[in-house]
């Protein structure tokens, strides 16, 4: 990269961006002026309103004055309560309509004999307080009455104890006093940990959005993109210059927001300094700034890549807004109590950074998390950056006046084509993942048999085939519906058996390093026990259906989609990883699904190089069936005293089995790759 040219582009972009009033509004006016003022005004108004409410007396109806004359006197004496006379039948309606804010009904408890309560001189009374939880005045009235009744009750007890010549400890043996070791600073950091990460993430993405759109889609719309391409500035230099501008604006927006929010929070916290200190400590601020860098890097790259697809500013806003909305959910995770970082969450985009920022602010840093989040976020950001450079090289993206996605073109105008694009494959994966994790979980929780059938066929198979039909794709090529050779089928069978042993060892090692969610394992086991699945049913639902439906989605649509724009092994790795993460059930997010990723990659390689989905289906069927059969046989073996007989004393798969199985698996996959490459070369040669 020629740095001089990147610097020239950067300086020009900065100059233009800083002359743009809209950017300045988002970057400076919002955080520096509007948010702090807004927060201060809201808090001041809320305090003033609270003060006003507290000065006004609550109108309360009292029923049963004759039963509780002294309580009536206490209520009459209280300056914050105004008593109102009402009939018993009218009180609920009166509270509901706001005529009174609460009602107190006192009645003698006829079921409790007087002698059972030797402490009381009178009879035990039951008090019902009626109020409206939806009305804040009514709630305040309830709080006042509760306080008064509590004090009254305690005084009554104390008085009666005095008559009996007993001390208070007779009735109240425990005296509870709250004492928090949390310093005001620590309490403040807890609160900051909830608020700041969310705001910082949202503001950084908002800060990157406008300049990203302006410098890409905006330039396309204004016709300046072609002008810069006429100069010797290379694509990498142009992208770097633009990216650096977006990145700095995003950082500046994040920083100014942090400063604005910090000032506003400090001002609010000033009033309650004895219990909470909301000023941001310098060490935490510095660490937060450190993580602002990969965060801004990620958002700038993603926003730039997304906006690059659009032809106009407005179209780019349409593409970028869902990304922004999508980030709100992970950004809000910092505000959920008890949601903490795990190794898996560290690598989930945005979620990892958000929760890490919370850790940093709350001074509960785990250095491993810090490294994992920094590395993963930087990798995602770099990936998005590379994608943007690729898009800048794409003449269709730069100059086409057509909509960038076939999905938006309209089916009647679509022409038949062989396979989907990687974008379409990703879109289908996203839709199927959402369906699987939402609708799939719901239907399975009602009835496992029906639920699994609907999930597999309705939420995976049908969307894949339906989308292919909609896009007018060649179904045979998209889903690799070719007859495999007998040798490929034999290879798939042997590979499936070998992978069973390899996976068992991976699972064992992983369970030791990163324990699985026992909760999930138990829940799954219970669901199967409740459904009373026999072996045949288990094989059908857990082996046959996934072998067909998951293969059609992953090794069919997705693999052909990714293979259309990259090498087969690259596509296989991407599909394998997606396949792995598809097997992460939400509650088990504590682990990275290593074994499923391995199996996903092996399956994808076998299908990609054999060019037949049937080899994948056979492998998948045998692999799942093998796992299920082992699970089914386990209790029987244990009964016969042979539980885990084929594992060694440490619980590992014996090396005598594991090593040949692993070598066999690698050898078979390599054979598929070599044979596939050879066939491709032969095909090219003959067509040439």
Chain positions contacting other proteins, by CB under 8 A = 5, 8-9, 12, 15-16, 19-20, 222-224, 226-234, 395-396, 399-400, 402-406, 408-409, 413-417
Provide DSSP, 507-575: HHHHHHHS---HHHHHHHHHHHHHHT--HHHHIIIIIIHHHHHHHIIIIIIIHHHHHTTS-HHHHHHHH
For the CB of residue 525, give the shortest distance to other proteins in the complex, in Å. 47
Compute the distance between CA of residue 516 and CA of residue 509 in angstroms, rounded to an integer: 11
Q: Is 248 within 8 Å of 14 (Cβ atoms)?
A: yes
Q: Is 189 within 8 Å of 285 (Cβ atoms)?
A: no
For the CB of residue 602, give the shortest distance to other proteins in the complex, in Å. 31
**DSSP code at position 652:** S
For the CB of residue 572, give the shortest distance to other proteins in the complex, in Å. 23
* Residue nearer to other proteins on the CB measure, 320 or 406: 406
* Residue nearer to other proteins on the CB measure, 93 or 226: 226
Q: 520, exposed or middle or buried, with CB in 10 Å at 0-12, 13-18, 19+?
A: middle
Closest CA to 615 of 491, 532, 439: 491
* Residue nearer to other proteins on the CB measure, 87 or 412: 412
* Residue nearer to other proteins on the CB measure, 3 or 674: 3
For the CB of residue 418, give the shortest distance to other proteins in the complex, in Å. 8
* Residue nearer to other proteins on the CB measure, 229 or 427: 229
For the CB of residue 467, give the shortest distance to other proteins in the complex, in Å. 15
For the CB of residue 639, give the shortest distance to other proteins in the complex, in Å. 59
For the CB of residue 232, give the shortest distance to other proteins in the complex, in Å. 4
For the CB of residue 257, give the shortest distance to other proteins in the complex, in Å. 25
Compute the distance between CA of residue 45 and CA of residue 125 in angstroms, rounded to an integer: 41
For the CB of residue 4, give the shortest distance to other proteins in the complex, in Å. 8
All residues at 6 or more sequence positions from 189 whose CB lies less than 8 Å from its CB, including other chains:
281, 284, 361, 362, 363
Q: CA 378 → CA 213, 290, 302, distances in Å?
A: 22, 12, 12
* Residue nearer to other proteins on the CB measure, 235 or 366: 235
Compute the distance between CA of residue 90 and CA of residue 95 in angstroms, rounded to an integer: 9
Q: Is 546 within 8 Å of 624 (Cβ atoms)?
A: yes
Evaluated on CA atoms 668, 672, 677, 681, the torsion sign reads positive
| Half-sphere exposure for 182 (CA within 13 Å, toward CB) | 15
Backbone φ, ψ for residue 128 (5° rounding): -110, 130
* Residue nearer to other proteins on the CB measure, 222 or 314: 222
Q: CA 215 → CA 236, 245, 253, 304, distances in Å?
A: 15, 9, 17, 8
* Residue nearer to other proteins on the CB measure, 413 or 483: 413
> SS3 for 338-407, per residue?
CCCCCHHHHCCCCHHHHHHHHHHHCCCCCHHHHHHHHHHHHHHHHHHHHHHHHHHHCHHHHHCCCCCCHH
Compute the distance between CA of residue 392 and CA of residue 309 in angstroms, rounded to an integer: 10
| Half-sphere exposure for 657 (CA within 13 Å, toward CB) | 15
For the CB of residue 427, give the shortest distance to other proteins in the complex, in Å. 14
* Residue nearer to other proteins on the CB measure, 273 or 400: 400
* Residue nearer to other proteins on the CB measure, 354 or 564: 564
* Residue nearer to other proteins on the CB measure, 129 or 228: 228
Going across the sheet that includes 125-131, the strands are 81-84, 58-63, 102-108, 125-131
* Residue nearer to other proteins on the CB measure, 412 or 518: 412
For the CB of residue 246, give the shortest distance to other proteins in the complex, in Å. 16
Closest CA to 564 of 414, 429, 427, 419: 419
Evaluated on CA atoms 481, 486, 491, 494, the torsion sign reads positive
For the CB of residue 482, give the shortest distance to other proteins in the complex, in Å. 21
* Residue nearer to other proteins on the CB measure, 479 or 672: 479
For the CB of residue 315, give the shortest distance to other proteins in the complex, in Å. 13
């Amino acid at each position: 990269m020629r740095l001089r040219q990147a610097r020239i582009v950067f300086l020009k972009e900065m100059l233009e961006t800083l002359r743009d009033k809209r950017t300045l509004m988002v970057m400076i006016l919002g955080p520096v002026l509007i948010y702090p003022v807004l927060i201060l005004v809201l808090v001041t108004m809320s305090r003033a309103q609270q003060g006003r409410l507290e000065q006004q007396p609550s109108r309360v109806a009292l029923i049963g004055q004759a039963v509780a004359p002294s309580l009536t006197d206490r209520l009459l004496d209280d300056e914050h309560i105004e008593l109102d006379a009402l009939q018993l039948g009218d009180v609920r309606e009166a509270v509901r309509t706001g005529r009174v804010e609460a009602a107190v009904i006192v009645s003698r408890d006829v079921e409790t004999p007087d002698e059972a309560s030797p402490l009381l001189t009178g009879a035990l009374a039951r008090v019902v307080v009626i109020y409206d939880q939806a009305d804040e005045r009514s709630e305040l009235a309830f709080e006042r009455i509760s306080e008064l009744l509590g004090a009254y009750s305690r005084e009554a007890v104390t008085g009666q104890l005095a008559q009996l010549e007993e001390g208070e400890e007779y009735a109240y043996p425990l005296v509870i006093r709250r004492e928090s070791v949390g310093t005001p600073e620590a309490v403040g950091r807890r609160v900051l940990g909830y608020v700041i990460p969310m705001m910082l993430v949202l503001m950084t993405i908002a800060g990157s959005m406008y300049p990203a759109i302006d410098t890409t889609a905006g330039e396309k719309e204004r016709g300046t993109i072609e002008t810069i391409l006429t100069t010797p500035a290379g694509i990498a230099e142009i992208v770097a210059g633009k990216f650096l501008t977006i990145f700095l604006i995003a950082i500046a927006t994040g920083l100014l927001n942090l400063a604005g929010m910090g000032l506003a929070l400090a001002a609010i916290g000033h009033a309650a300094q004895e219990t909470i200190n909301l000023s941001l400590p310098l060490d935490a601020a510095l660490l937060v700034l450190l993580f602002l860098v990969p965060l801004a890097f990620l958002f700038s790259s993603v926003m730039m890549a997304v906006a690059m697809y659009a032809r106009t500013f407005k179209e780019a806003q349409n593409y970028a807004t869902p990304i922004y909305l999508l980030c709100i959910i992970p950004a809000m995770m910092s505000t959920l109590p008890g949601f903490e970082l795990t190794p898996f969450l560290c690598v989930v985009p945005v979620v990892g950074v958000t929760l890490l920022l919370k850790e940093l602010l709350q001074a509960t840093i785990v250095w491993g998390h810090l490294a994992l989040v920094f590395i993963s976020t930087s990798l995602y950001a770099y990936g998005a950056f590379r994608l943007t450079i690729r898009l800048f090289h794409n003449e269709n993206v730069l100059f086409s006046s057509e909509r960038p996605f076939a999905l938006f073109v309209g089916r009647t105008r679509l022409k038949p084509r062989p396979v989907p694009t990687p974008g379409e494959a990703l879109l289908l994966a996203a839709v199927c993942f959402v369906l699987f994790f939402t609708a799939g979980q719901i239907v399975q929780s009602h009835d496992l048999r029906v639920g699994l059938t609907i999930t597999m066929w309705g939420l995976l198979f049908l969307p894949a085939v339906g989308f292919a039909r909609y896009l007018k794709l060649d179904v045979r090529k998209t889903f690799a519906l070719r007859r495999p050779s007998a040798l490929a089928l034999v290879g798939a069978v042997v590979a499936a058996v070998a992978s069973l042993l390899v996976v068992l060892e991976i699972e064992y090692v992983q369970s030791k390093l990163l324990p699985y969610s026992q909760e999930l394992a138990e829940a799954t086991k219970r669901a199967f026990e409740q459904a009373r699945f026999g072996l045949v049913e288990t094989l059908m639902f857990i082996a046959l259906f996934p072998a067909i439906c998951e293969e059609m989605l992953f090794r069919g649509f997705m693999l052909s989609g990714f293979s259309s724009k990259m090498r087969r092994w690259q596509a296989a790795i991407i599909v394998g990883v997606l396949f792995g993460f598809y097997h992460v059930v939400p509650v088990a997010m504590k682990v990275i699904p290593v074994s499923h990723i391995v199996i996903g990659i092996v399956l994808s390689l076998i299908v990609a190089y054999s060019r037949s989905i049937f080899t994948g289906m056979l492998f998948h069927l045998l692999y799942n069936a093998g796992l299920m059969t082992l699970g089914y046989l386990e209790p029987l073996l244990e009964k016969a005293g042979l539980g885990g007989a084929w594992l060694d004393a440490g619980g590992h798969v014996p090396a005598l089995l594991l090593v040949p199985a692993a070598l066999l698996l690698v050898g078979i996959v390599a054979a598929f790759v070599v044979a596939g490459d050879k066939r491709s070369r032969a095909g090219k040669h003959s067509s040439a």
